[in-house]
Copies of this chain bind each other. A is one copy, B any other.
Amino acid sequence: MVKIAVMGYGTVGSGVVEILSKHADNIASRAKERIGIKYILDRRDFPDSPYSGKFTKSFDTILNDPEVRIVVEVMGGLHPAFEYVKSCLENGKSVVTSNKELVAMKGAQLLKIAQKNNLNFLFEASVGGGIPIIRPISQCLAANEVIGIAGILNGTTNFILTKMIREGMSFQESLAMAQKLGYAERDPSSDVGGLDACRKICILASLAYGKHVYPDQVHTEGISKITLADVEYAASWGGVVKLIGMVRKTDSGKIQIMVCPMFLSRESQLANVDDEFNGIMVRGDSTGDVVFYGKGAGKLPTASAVVADVIDCVKHFKARKYLYWDDGSPDYVEDYREYETAMFVRGKAADEFSAFQTVDKLFGRVERLSRKVPEPGEVAFVTKKMKEKEIAQQLQQASQEGIQILNTIRIGDL
Instruction: Tell me whether A290 is interfacial, beta carbon within 8 Å.
Output: yes
Q: How far is the CA of A288 from the CA of B293 in the complex (A)?
A: 11
- Interface check A289, CB cutoff 8 A: yes
Q: With a CB–CB cut-off of 8 A, which chain B residues contact A293?
A: 269, 289-293
Per the 8 Å Cβ criterion, residues 267-317 of A in contact with B are 269, 272, 284-295, 298, 300-301, 303-305, 307-308, 311-312, 315-316
Return the contact of A143 from the options B27, B135, B269, B316 (Cβ within 8 A).
B27
Contact B139 A312 (CB under 8 A): yes
Q: Do the beta carbons of B269 and A305 come within 8 Å of each other?
A: no
Known: A130-B288, A293-B269, A319-B315. A305 touches B140 (CB 8 A): yes
Question: Measured between alpha carbons, how far is A285 from B295 in the docked complex, in Å?
Answer: 12
**B290 and A303 within 8 A (CB):** no
Chain B residues closer than 8 Å to A305, beta-carbon distance: 140, 143, 287
Q: How large is the interface on A (under 10, 10 to 19, 20 to 34, 35 or more residues)?
A: 35 or more
* Inter-chain contact B295/A292, CB cutoff 8 Å: no
Known: A269-B293, A292-B290, A294-B290. A304 touches B143 (CB 8 A): yes
Most central of A139, A298, A305, A319 by chain B CB within 10 Å: A139
Q: Which chain B residues lie closer than 8 Å to A23 at the CB level?
A: 143-145
A141 contacts partner chain B, Cβ-Cβ < 8 Å: yes
Cβ contact within 8 Å between B142 and A30: yes
A269 neighbours in B (Cβ, 8 Å): 272, 293
A109 beta carbon closer than 8 Å to chain B: no
Task: Return the 8 tightest CB-CB contacts between A and B, nearest first.
Answer: A130-B287, A143-B307, A286-B304, A132-B140, A290-B294, A291-B293, A286-B300, A143-B304
